[in-house]
A = this chain, B = another copy of it.
Amino acid sequence: MAEQRNTRQRRAVKGVLDQLEGFHSAQEIHEFLRDSGEQIGLSTVYRNLVSLADANEVDALRNDEGETLYRRCSSGHHHHHLVCRTCGKTVEVDGPAAEQWAESIASAHGFKNVSHTFEIFGTCEQCQR
């Protein structure tokens, strides 16, 4: 489906996602790239992040402030996250129990087309100091 050209900018965006540990906003990623001397427009960062997310090459989630955060997706399958509020460090969480719970609740109430948001935010060990 996604026939993407291998541009310098796209490579750069993917590169940052490999380097950065956790979830980060598009603006942070843009800033990081600019600081690294990479010349790239903010809209290009957005466009690439959106297309990467569509292609399931990165995870996207929304934080409490309504920003969209992105992170390179290590495993292809569905999972959730434990995210540090301070540094963005992320632990990937597999929650079959939670999945089933959501599914059964939804169908018990006759809901179809169900999606869910399960994200856990906290302060990681390092950032507690």
Contact = CB atoms under 8 A, between A and B. Distances in A.
A101 B109 contact: no
A124 B102 CA distance: 14
Given A62-B66, A114-B120, A105 B125 contact: no
B116 A116 contact: no
Contacts of A118: 98, 102, 116-118
Given A62-B64, A66-B66, A122 B112 contact: yes
Contacts of A66: 62, 66, 68
A76 B17 CA distance: 41
A109 B93 CA distance: 11
Given A82-B109, A102-B120, 5 more contacts: A62-B62, A64-B117, A109-B124, A112-B123, A114-B121
